[in-house]
Chains A and B, each alone.
Chain A
Amino acid sequence: MKWIKYITLYGLTIFVFMVLVELYFQGSEIILPKVEVDPVLGEIYLPNKRVAEFFEGYYMGQVNEHRYLGEVSHIRKSPDEVHVGLVGDSFVAGMELFPRHHFMQVMNKELNTDSSQPYIFTNFGKDGLNLSGIYSYYEKYVSTYEMDHVLFFLNWENFWDTERQFTPNYELENGELVLKTDFTESGAYQTYDKLRPLTQSALVFLAYKCRTIINSGQAPKVLFDKFYIESTPDPTAIVEPEDESYKYELNEVKRAILKKLASDKKVILVIDDEIPQEINSVIQELGFRTIYLDGVIKEIQATGFDPYYWKVSGKWGHWNPPTHQIVGKHLSGELKKILHNSAIAKSK
């Protein structure tokens, strides 16, 4: 009897303490879960959420009620407004710096200075997406909003065939792109769906991150630090070439996605990195309106400044704040040219 009382009180104390820790994590923004899994879109942002991230830099922002980043900007588009949506992966989401330093704010300022029409920019960036994921995000979610132009950001890594747990994939059926949501049939998703409310808990999110580390085989390194000796590669094994282009395949599905995007007159493709010639050739053939950023990135690098290095954390990753400024100005200039040329072509 005494033991039952002891265990009950012990368990209750743990439960109450964990609830208090949960409140502490959320109040102090130590961990703020920000995503859930939609059965069609896969991983999407939760609505009305504060976001705080510590990747290369420090991000403090929010997801609004419509599940995209920042303040709500699309409501009741007026005829004289020009709405520009930014679609892409983590380079667009920009969760490494405060939103006011993001290249979108630079574009906002540049395009709205001395402009007869107000430009309204919306950040639909979502981290962790490949080409298929970005396109499904655009097709099923972004296109429900009224946009005059869509800057569709792609880089080489979006073409890699990486496995992502809760991401829909496209397949070709009778030459048509069909979105497959097979991930909803997986055991992982079934479990997730049952525990859905719990997944918004900071503590559960922490535990999930630990599980990810364990599954990726990094646990021994974390536990044993210097005493962990990584296994040496088998000298007789075939060494993969250093050229990483083998990681992607420009298959028929990807070509079909690019073809669909090219037929969408709102889309302006932004290539934010150097890409293989094969992909670039397809882009050129499809007649995209395109902005290339690799040139301006190389110019930055030529000055001796690393656009991907973050002094504060000592890490390499996404564009750092000065690079955002330069990219924003470059994009603004290029966008103005494209819109001007398009206006001329239209008037003819």
Chain B
Amino acid sequence: MLFNSFIFFFFLLVVLPVYYLLPAKYRNLHLLVSSYVFYGYWDWRFCLLLLASTIIDYYVGRTMHRSSDPTVRKRLLWVSLFANLGILGFFKYFNFFIGSFETMVTSMGGGELDFLHLNIILPVGISFYTFQTLSYTIDIYRNKLEPSKTLLDFAVFVAFFPQLVAGPIERASNLLPQIERKPLPSREQIEQGIVLIITGLFRKVMIGDTTGRIVDHVFSEPEYYSSPELLMGLILFSIQIYADFSGYSRIARGTSKLLGIDLMKNFEQPYLSMNITEFWRRWHISLSSWLRDYLYISLGGNRKGINRMYINLMLTMLIGGLWHGASWTFVIWGGLHGIYLAVHKWSLKGKRVPDEYTYTGLKSFVIYLSKVVGTYILVLFTWLFFRANSFDDAFYFLEKMVYWESSVYSARIFMICFSFGALTLLFDFFEYYTKSHTFLLKLNERNLQPVVAGILTSMLIVVLIYIFQADPLPFIYFQF
């Protein structure tokens, strides 16, 4: 069920009170049942895969922990990798690799091939929960984690509904201990949870869904649109994907807080980054840190020489691109980011990118602004390949940028992009300035509780009215 639907509200209205009223020993069972109801709402068959992945990794983890034989531990790790990546590979990439192989053979003069293509339904969230369970078994293998004490707790860790279908991809070291404690939320968590859910919904619906209407039309049939209109579509996509995904992550964190659980932040104002390295510290943080810790470092990281470091970086980003979808356009997207990161790393010559920028006056602000705009343009270019339905569409778009045609709607296009962009940046500015995703609660510290309540009430009213009369757009990252 979508977070931006009434049925999810009713679902929470049942799940939360029961959770609060149940004795502690039954809370995780309740969470597990709720999570499977949530997931099975899409298709009950998906639950079987989830269950299989859970059982395999639980017993792999336990057995690995009990064994001191490195060979046995490695073999068990391979069992987990094979099972999880096998499931992911089959459901997500089977037809992609078959099709790509056919294309390659045909282009090499091998004649037309027609291998079996299967009609496979992609289970929602499979990319997320397989990575989450893999981090569990890998951490146990690396002796960084003790296995879960009970299958029930582990099953809740895997299936925890607020973050099951689109992250954040949680680490067992963060989430498992909280689940094992079976907490009730504090007053602070309840306040933060409500603020995160409402502001997340507002972002998702009022920015993500509304930009998505235009983006879908422009990218579906780009031949009907002129150069400024295509550019508008791309800029709005950069806003849509951020608002959509960050909105979802906030709702996930907010819902978890209402259950007394703190999930990691997934976005930290990425479009205010001054360079591409900083961007990847701020964008989809749970995935980028997962790729760093379990792929980049496993490949050797920067420990095997400079050339190998760049290769590892490129491989990590290419695979990161492929993770997003079974299409070469996603691989190109990842590859572009890999090139950007490699070039930036080379330019740093060993220096570390600071976490914060220190302003020393107007000149430093202008430098900051130019770097932010430059980074945004680099990222915007990659979004073209991420969103375009094919390479043909992407190149058609680029051709239209080079051979620019005007549009009678240029002024309106500017206004549309400005309105959406301004609201997005407004949210980010307040978060950046207050260093808090729940910046509204800072007003409470100044005795402005009615203002906070008024803003949240207004946001909720507007969102509820809008989703009542509109077809809800699913979260973009559900397709991954």
Residues of A within 8 A of B (CB): 5-7, 9-14, 17-18, 21, 24, 27-30, 50, 54, 57-58, 60, 97-98, 101, 203, 206-207, 209-210, 213, 222-227, 311-313, 321
Contact between chains at B420 and A223 (CB < 8 Å): no
CB nearest neighbor in A for B408: A100
**Besides the contacts A17-B455, A54-B217, what 20 more A-B pairs have beta carbons closer than 8 Å?**
A9-B450, A10-B453, A13-B458, A14-B457, A18-B458, A18-B462, A24-B423, A28-B415, A28-B416, A28-B423, A29-B412, A57-B217, A98-B224, A203-B465, A206-B469, A209-B469, A225-B5, A226-B41, A312-B220, A321-B224
Type the 1/0 row for B366-398, where 1 means its CB is closer than 8 Å to any CB of A.
Answer: 000000000000000000000000000000000
- Say whether, besides A222-B468, A224-B6, A10 and B450 are in contact (CB < 8 Å): yes
Contact between chains at B451 and A9 (CB < 8 Å): yes
CB distance from B446 to the nearest CB of A (A): 12
Stretch at the interface among B84-92, B121-129, B208-216, B332-340: B208-216
CB nearest neighbor in B for A205: B469
CB distance from A213 to the nearest CB of B (A): 6
Contact between chains at B409 and A60 (CB < 8 Å): yes
- Say whether, besides A14-B454, A28-B416, A58 and B465 are in contact (CB < 8 Å): no
CB nearest neighbor in A for B420: A28
CB distance from B452 to the nearest CB of A (A): 8
A9 CA / B214 CA spacing, docked (Å):
37
CB nearest neighbor in A for B467: A222
A101 CA / B453 CA spacing, docked (Å):
47
Contact between chains at B412 and A13 (CB < 8 Å): no
Contact between chains at A225 and B412 (CB < 8 Å): no
CB distance from B312 to the nearest CB of A (A): 40
A224 CA / B1 CA spacing, docked (Å):
11
CB distance from A142 to the nearest CB of B (A): 25
Residue B100 CB within 8 A of the other chain:
no
Q: Which residues of B contact A28 (CB under 8 A)?
A: 210, 415-416, 419-420, 423
Contact between chains at B462 and A203 (CB < 8 Å): yes
A293 CA / B1 CA spacing, docked (Å):
44
A6 CA / B451 CA spacing, docked (Å):
9
A-B contact pairs, 17 of them (CB 8 A): A9-B450, A11-B454, A13-B458, A17-B454, A27-B416, A28-B420, A28-B423, A29-B412, A50-B412, A98-B225, A101-B224, A206-B466, A207-B465, A223-B6, A224-B10, A225-B5, A313-B217
Cβ-neighbour of B458 out of A21, A101, A311 (below 8 A): A21
CB nearest neighbor in B for A20: B458
CB distance from B138 to the nearest CB of A (A): 37
CB nearest neighbor in B for A320: B221
A272 CA / B220 CA spacing, docked (Å):
28
CB distance from A248 to the nearest CB of B (A): 30
Cβ-neighbour of A210 out of B41, B451, B469 (below 8 A): B469
Quick one: which of B225, B465, B469 has the most chain A CB within 10 A? B469
The majority secondary structure among interface residues of chain A is helix
- Say whether, besides A28-B210, A223-B6, A225-B7, A60 and B412 are in contact (CB < 8 Å): yes
Q: Which residues of B contact A12 (CB under 8 A)?
A: 454
CB distance from A157 to the nearest CB of B (A): 23
Residue B418 CB within 8 A of the other chain:
yes
Within 8 A of A (CB), among B169-228: 206, 210, 213-214, 216-218, 220-221, 224-225
Contact between chains at B217 and A29 (CB < 8 Å): no
Contact between chains at A224 and B454 (CB < 8 Å): no
Q: Which residues of B contact A54 (CB under 8 A)?
A: 213, 217
CB distance from A17 to the nearest CB of B (A): 4
3 shortest A-B CB distances, which residue pairs?
Answer: A13-B454, A28-B419, A58-B217
Q: Which residues of B contact A321 (CB under 8 A)?
A: 221, 224
CB distance from B5 to the nearest CB of A (A): 6
Residues of B within 8 A of A (CB): 1, 5-7, 10, 41, 206, 210, 213-214, 216-218, 220-221, 224-225, 409, 412, 415-416, 418-420, 423, 448-451, 453-455, 457-459, 462, 465-466, 468-469
Cβ-neighbour of B450 out of A6, A21, A24, A225 (below 8 A): A6
CB distance from B443 to the nearest CB of A (A): 10
A97 CA / B221 CA spacing, docked (Å):
11
A98 CA / B416 CA spacing, docked (Å):
16
Q: Which residues of A contact B454 (CB under 8 A)?
A: 9-14, 17
Q: Which residues of A contact B450 (CB under 8 A)?
A: 5-7, 9-10, 13
A54 CA / B220 CA spacing, docked (Å):
14
CB distance from A19 to the nearest CB of B (A): 10
Contact between chains at A225 and B458 (CB < 8 Å): no
Cβ-neighbour of A14 out of B418, B458, B466 (below 8 A): B458
CB nearest neighbor in B for A22: B462
Q: Which residues of B contact A9 (CB under 8 A)?
A: 448, 450-451, 454
Contact between chains at A213 and B469 (CB < 8 Å): yes
CB distance from A98 to the nearest CB of B (A): 7
CB distance from A92 to the nearest CB of B (A): 20
Contact between chains at A13 and B451 (CB < 8 Å): yes
Q: Which residues of A contact B210 (CB under 8 A)?
A: 28, 30
A60 CA / B413 CA spacing, docked (Å):
10
Q: Which residues of A contact B459 (CB under 8 A)?
A: 17
- Say whether, besides A6-B450, A13-B450, A29-B412, A97 and B224 are in contact (CB < 8 Å): yes
Quick one: which of A7, A57, A206, A225 has the most chain B CB within 10 A? A225
Contact between chains at A24 and B465 (CB < 8 Å): no
A223 CA / B450 CA spacing, docked (Å):
29
A10 CA / B443 CA spacing, docked (Å):
13
CB distance from B222 to the nearest CB of A (A): 11
Contact between chains at B458 and A17 (CB < 8 Å): yes
Cβ-neighbour of A225 out of B1, B216, B462, B465 (below 8 A): B1
Contact between chains at A222 and B409 (CB < 8 Å): no
Contact between chains at A226 and B412 (CB < 8 Å): no
A223 CA / B221 CA spacing, docked (Å):
32
Q: Which residues of A contact B220 (CB under 8 A)?
A: 311-312
Q: Which residues of A contact B420 (CB under 8 A)?
A: 28
Contact between chains at A222 and B6 (CB < 8 Å): yes
Q: Which residues of B contact A223 (CB under 8 A)?
A: 6-7, 10
Cβ-neighbour of B419 out of A24, A60, A97, A207 (below 8 A): A24
CB nearest neighbor in A for B413: A60
A24 CA / B206 CA spacing, docked (Å):
10
CB distance from B238 to the nearest CB of A (A): 15
A28 CA / B416 CA spacing, docked (Å):
4
CB distance from B216 to the nearest CB of A (A): 7
Contact between chains at A312 and B216 (CB < 8 Å): yes
- Say whether, besides A9-B450, A21-B462, A30-B210, A227 and B7 are in contact (CB < 8 Å): yes
CB distance from A10 to the nearest CB of B (A): 4
A57 CA / B466 CA spacing, docked (Å):
19
CB nearest neighbor in A for B469: A209
CB nearest neighbor in A for B415: A27
A98 CA / B423 CA spacing, docked (Å):
27
Q: Which residues of B contact A27 (CB under 8 A)?
A: 415-416, 418-419
- Say whether, besides A60-B409, A206-B465, A226 and B217 are in contact (CB < 8 Å): no
CB distance from A218 to the nearest CB of B (A): 10
Contact between chains at A210 and B224 (CB < 8 Å): no
Q: Which residues of B contact A6 (CB under 8 A)?
A: 449-450
CB distance from B146 to the nearest CB of A (A): 40
